[in-house]
């Protein structure tokens, strides 16, 4: 059986059996599989990329909403010098 | 030597020079295009077709799909299979075929890597397989592959980057906006978790840490 790892931009995005990817040994496959099974829990805003050295790199999944962002009307008011009368 | 018009054993001065009488070669076990002499001494022409490295899929007497790595390729659907385990949730995943094929597969299946002969999974696969047989002639059709995959909505959508060969394919499920009206879509995705909506859309994705098994099937080669 052929084992492989699929690397994109320096991260292991998948492992598998069959064609494709970079061929690895069964031992390396099992090691990566074990690492994947111990992936840190993601949150609504963060997830983790698996580096080739089998460490996890946290990244931001979703841009958090900026609650302080002004509305369109407020932006117009600001541009027009405000309307605090 | 009774009634054998051929020579299958030669002796000289009590010494056996040639002895074919225990040979086991037959036309069906000799590769097509080759000749030999069987145990009678008769010249035979081979009829065997080489099996692919991935084997074929057939149905057994109970209707179950059976993967047979030893059957000649002309006797069933050629398949390839493999697995993938994403490290992150992804909406699609490109798989590569190890063999060379002249067409895209005309069906493919992705399932979680539980026993592929599990009744539920196999039932779905057989239903799918049967639908194809109904549409294009059962049990194995050979002449309408191009028509079949001409509508990519009937197979796992996508292909390789060019869409013109079958060295690999990207697998994703056709969402409602791309499904043809009035068509029944076989359930390509057979997973323990089923199809999961993401962010309120019909887009499906593969979950990190889950190992998926895939199988792609082509018409018989001859």
CB pair distance less than 8 Å for A18 and B82: yes
| Residue of A4, A12, A17 to mutate, interface with B, max B Cβ within 10 Å | A17
Angle at B119 between CA B170 and CA B94, to 5 degrees: 10
Going by pLDDT thresholds of 50, 70 and 90, the confidence category of residue A39 is very high
Q: Does A47 touch chain B (CB under 8 A)?
A: yes
Give the angle subtended at the CA of B155 by the CAs of B154 and B158, to the nearest 5°. 115
Which tokens hold the place of B37? 């002499």
Residue with tokens 């496959």: A29
Which of B213, B222, B214, B70 minimizes the C-alpha distance to B140?
A: B222
Provide mean pLDDT across the span A15-39.
Answer: 92
- Partners of residue A37 in chain B, C-beta under 8 Å: 209
Which residues in chain A touch residue B214, judged by CB atoms under 8 angstroms apart?
18
Give the residue-averaged pLDDT of A66-83. Answer: 60
Per-10-residue mean pLDDT of chain B, 222 residues long, equals 79 88 74 74 65 51 58 60 83 70 59 44 49 36 28 29 37 45 36 31 61 68 52
Provide the whole-model pTM: 0.52
Question: What residues in A contact B93, CB-CB < 8 Å?
Answer: 14
Q: What percent of chain A has pLDDT over 70?
A: 72
Residues of chain A contacting B208 with CB distance shorter than 8 Å: 36, 39
pLDDT at A81: 63
Size of chain B, expressed as the number of residues it contains: 222
pLDDT at B156: 32
> Is B96 an interface residue toward A (CB < 8 Å)?
yes
What local confidence, expressed as pLDDT, does residue B210 receive? 79
Q: Measured between alpha carbons, how far is B41 from B33 in angstroms, rounded to an integer?
A: 19
CA-closest candidate to residue B120, choices B169, B57, B52, B189: B189
pLDDT of A53 > 80? The answer is yes
Which residues pair with residue B168 across a beta bridge? Answer: B96
- Structure confidence at residue A57 as a pLDDT band (50, 70, 90): very high
pLDDT of residue B165: 33
A20 to chain B: closest CA residue: B96
Name all contacts of B198-201 with Cβ < 8 Å and 24+ positions apart: B198/B89, B198/B91, B201/B175
pLDDT higher at A21 or B92: A21
The answer to whether B94 faces chain A, any CB pair under 8 Å, is yes
């Amino acid at each position: 059986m052929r084992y492989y790892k699929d690397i994109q931009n320096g991260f292991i995005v998948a492992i598998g059996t069959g064609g494709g990817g970079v061929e690895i040994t069964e031992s390396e496959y099992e090691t990566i599989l074990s690492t994947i099974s111990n992936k840190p829990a993601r949150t609504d805003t963060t997830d983790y990329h698996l580096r080739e050295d089998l460490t996890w790199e946290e990244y931001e999944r979703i841009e958090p909403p900026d609650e302080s962002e002004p509305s369109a009307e407020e932006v117009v008011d600001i541009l027009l010098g405000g309307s605090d009368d | 030597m009774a009634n054998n018009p051929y020579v299958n054993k030669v002796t000289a001065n009590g010494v056996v020079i040639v002895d074919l009488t225990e040979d086991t070669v037959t036309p069906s076990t000799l590769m097509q295009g080759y000749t030999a002499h069987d145990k009678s001494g008769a010249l035979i022409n081979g009829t065997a077709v080489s099996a692919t490295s991935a084997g074929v899929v057939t149905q057994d007497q109970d209707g179950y799909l059976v993967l047979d790595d030893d059957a000649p390729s002309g006797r069933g659907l050629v398949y390839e299979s493999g697995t993938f385990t994403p490290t992150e949730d992804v909406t699609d995943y490109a798989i590569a075929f190890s063999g060379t094929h002249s067409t895209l597969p005309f069906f493919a299946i992705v399932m979680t890597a539980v026993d592929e002969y599990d009744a539920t999974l196999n039932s779905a696969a057989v239903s799918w397989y049967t639908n194809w047989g109904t549409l294009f002639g059962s049990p194995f059709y050979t002449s309408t592959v191009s028509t079949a995959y001409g509508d990519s909505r009937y197979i796992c959508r996508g292909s390789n980057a060019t869409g013109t060969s079958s060295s690999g394919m990207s697998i994703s499920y056709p969402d409602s906006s791309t499904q043809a009206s009035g068509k029944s879509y076989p359930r390509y995705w057979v997973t323990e978790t089923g199809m999961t909506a993401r962010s309120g859309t019909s887009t499906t994705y593969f979950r990190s840490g889950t190992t998926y098994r895939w199988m792609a099937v082509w018409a018989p080669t001859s």
